[in-house]
Amino acid sequence: MSVVETESLTKVYSGGVRPFSAVSGVDFTINEEDFISVMGRSGSGKSTLLNLVAGLLRPTSGSVSINGRKISELDDRSGSFVRNSEIGYVPQGQSLLGNITVIENVVLPFTLFKRPGEPYGRAKDLLERVGVGDLADSRPKNLSGGEQRRVSVARALMNSPSLLIADEPTSDLDLETSSQVMELFSEINREGAAVLMVTHEPDTANYGNRHFTMDAGKLTERTA
Amino acid sequence: MNVRTLSVRNLSRRPFRTVGLITVVAVLAFSLFAGSLLEESLENGAENVKKRLGADVMLVPKGSGYDAEAILLKGEPNAFYMDKTVVDEIVKFKGISEVTTQFYLTTVSDAECCDFPVQLISFDPETDFTVTPWIEASNGGGIGHGELVVGSAISLVGDNQVKLFGNEFPVAARLGKSGTGLDTSIYMTQETMKDVAKLANDRGYPSPALDGIDSQISTVLIKAEPGYDTYLLVQDIRFDGVNVDVIKSTNITAGLTQQMGSLIGYVKVFEVMLWLLAVVVLGVLFSVSVNERKKEFATFRMMGATRRKLSSLILGESSLVSAAGALLGAALAALFVLPFSDSIGSAIGLPYLAPSLSAIASMFVLSVAVAFAIGPLAAIWSARRIGRSETHSMFTEGN
> What does the pLDDT look like over A193-214, one tens digit per residue?
999 999 988 999 999 999 999 9
Name the band, by pLDDT with cuts 50, 70 and 90, for residue B113: low
Distances in Å between the alpha carbon of A160 and those of A55, A153, A164, A195, B150?
A: 18, 11, 10, 13, 81
b (16+ CB within 10 A) / e for B154-172: beeeeeeebbbbebebebb
Q: Output the pLDDT for position B208.
A: 64
Strands (DSSP E) found in chain B: 57-61, 82-83, 96-106, 119-123, 148-150, 161-164, 167-174, 185-189, 216-217, 219-224, 244-248
pLDDT digits (tens, 9 = 90+) for B229-266: 888 888 888 888 788 999 887 777 766 677 777 777 88
The amino acid present at A33, given as its one-letter code, is: E
pLDDT at B209 over 70: no
**Rounded Cα gap, residues B398 and A69, in angstroms:** 31
Q: Do B308 and A77 touch (CB under 8 A)?
A: yes
Q: Do B13 and A87 touch (CB under 8 A)?
A: no
State whether residue A80 is helix, strand or coil.
helix
Of B10, B300, B302, which to mutate for an interface test with A (greatest number of A Cβ within 10 Å)?
B302
pLDDT digits (tens, 9 = 90+) for B282-330: 888 888 888 888 888 889 999 999 988 888 888 888 899 999 999 999 9
Rg over alpha carbons for chain A, rounded to the nearest Å, is 17
Nearest by CB to B305, which of A91, A107, A112?
Answer: A112
Q: What's the whole-number average pLDDT of chain B?
A: 83
Which residues in B lie closer than 8 A to residue A51 (C-beta atoms)?
390-392
- The enclosing H or E element of B85 equals none
Which residues in A lie closer than 8 A to residue B294 (C-beta atoms)?
none
**Rounded Cα gap, residues B252 and A147, in angstroms:** 79
Nearest by CB to B305, which of A80, A98, A159?
Answer: A80
The amino acid present at B139, given as its one-letter code, is: N
**Rounded Cα gap, residues A166 and A208, in angstroms:** 12
Residue B56: is it exposed, middle or buried by C-beta count within 10 angstroms (0-12/13-18/19+)? buried
Q: Do A56 and B304 touch (CB under 8 A)?
A: no
Nearest by CB to A56, which of B1, B309, B391?
Answer: B391
Q: Output the pLDDT for position B395.
A: 67
**Rounded Cα gap, residues B399 and A111, in angstroms:** 25
Which residues in A lie closer than 8 A to residue B2 (C-beta atoms)?
111
pLDDT digits (tens, 9 = 90+) for A68-107: 999 888 999 999 999 999 999 999 888 899 889 999 999 9
**What is the chain A residue with the closest CA to B293?**
A97
Q: Do A48 and B392 touch (CB under 8 A)?
A: yes
Which residues in B lie closer than 8 A to residue A48 (C-beta atoms)?
392
State whether residue B184 is helix, strand or coil.
helix
Residue B63: is it exposed, middle or buried by C-beta count within 10 angstroms (0-12/13-18/19+)? exposed
Nearest by CB to A109, which of B295, B296, B303?
Answer: B303
Q: What percentage of residues in chain B have a pLDDT greater than 70? A: 91
Which residues in A lie closer than 8 A to residue B308 (C-beta atoms)?
76-77
State whether residue B124 is helix, strand or coil.
coil
Most confident of A2-6, B170-174, B182-186: A2-6
Which residues in A lie closer than 8 A to residue B306 (C-beta atoms)?
76-77, 80, 112
**What is the chain B residue with the closest CA to A76?**
B306
Q: Do B302 and A100 touch (CB under 8 A)?
A: no
Sheet architecture: strand order including B57-61: B161-164, B167-174, B148-150, B185-189, B119-123, B96-106, B219-224, B57-61, B244-248
The residues that bridge with A61 in the sheet, in sequence order, are A10
Which residues in A lie closer than 8 A to residue B309 (C-beta atoms)?
80, 112
Residue A161 per-residue DSSP state: -
Contact B354, B37 (CB under 8 A): yes
- The enclosing H or E element of B242 equals none
Q: Do A93 and B309 touch (CB under 8 A)?
A: no
**Rounded Cα gap, residues B190 and B181, in angstroms:** 21
Range in A22-36, A109-123, B154-168 with the lowest mean pLDDT: B154-168
**What residues have CB less than 8 Å from B251, skipping those under 6 apart?**
none
ipTM of the complex: 0.90
Q: Which string of DSSP letters, residue by residue, matches B160-173?
A: TEEEETTEEEEEEE
Q: Do B295 and A95 touch (CB under 8 A)?
A: yes
Which residues in B lie closer than 8 A to residue A85 (C-beta atoms)?
304
pLDDT at B332 over 80: yes
Range in B109-113, B277-281, B329-333 with the lowest mean pLDDT: B109-113
Neighbouring CB atoms inside 10 A of B293's CB total: 22
Name the band, by pLDDT with cuts 50, 70 and 90, for residue A3: very high
pLDDT digits (tens, 9 = 90+) for A21-74: 889 999 999 999 999 999 998 888 898 999 999 998 889 999 999 999 998 889
**How many angstroms away from the CA of B396 is the closest CA of chain A?**
9
pLDDT digits (tens, 9 = 90+) for A149-188: 899 999 999 998 999 999 988 887 888 888 888 998 899 8
β-strand pairing of B167-174 with A194-198: unpaired
Q: What percentage of residues in chain B have a pLDDT greater than 90? A: 16
Nearest by CB to A80, which of B296, B306, B392?
Answer: B306
pLDDT at B110 over 60: no
Which residues in B lie closer than 8 A to residue A100 (C-beta atoms)?
1, 6, 9
Nearest by CB to A107, which of B1, B10, B295?
Answer: B1
Q: Output the pLDDT for position B397.
A: 60
Q: Do A83 and B302 touch (CB under 8 A)?
A: yes
Name the band, by pLDDT with cuts 50, 70 and 90, for residue B92: confident
Using a CB–CB cut-off of 8 Å, the residues of A that contact B are 47-48, 51, 54, 56-57, 76-77, 80-81, 83-85, 87, 89, 91-93, 95, 97-100, 104, 107-109, 111-113, 155, 159
- The enclosing H or E element of A11 equals strand A4-13
Contact B217, B103 (CB under 8 A): yes
**Rounded Cα gap, residues A221 and A217, in angstroms:** 13
Contact A119, A110 (CB under 8 A): yes
Q: Do A112 and B6 touch (CB under 8 A)?
A: no
Which residues in B lie closer than 8 A to residue A83 (C-beta atoms)?
302-304
**Rounded Cα gap, residues B230 and A62, in angstroms:** 87
Which residues in B lie closer than 8 A to residue A111 (C-beta atoms)?
1-3
Q: Please count the residue pairs, one from chain A and one from chain B, whose beta carbons lie less than 8 angstroms apart.
A: 76
Nearest by CB to A99, which of B13, B302, B305?
Answer: B13
**Rounded Cα gap, residues B142 and B139, in angstroms:** 8
**How many angstroms away from the CA of B325 is the closest CA of chain A?**
22
The residues that bridge with B246 in the sheet, in sequence order, are B59
Contact B119, B186 (CB under 8 A): yes
**How many angstroms away from the CA of B321 is the closest CA of chain A?**
17
Q: Do A112 and B304 touch (CB under 8 A)?
A: yes
Q: Nearest to residue B299, comparing CAs of B387, B389, B384, B391?
A: B391
**What is the chain B residue with the closest CA to A55?**
B302
**Rounded Cα gap, residues A208 and B157, in angstroms:** 96
Q: Is A81 or B207 the better-scoring residue by pLDDT?
A: A81
Q: Is B193 or A163 the better-scoring residue by pLDDT?
A: A163
Name the band, by pLDDT with cuts 50, 70 and 90, for residue B349: low
Q: Output the pLDDT for position B290.
A: 82
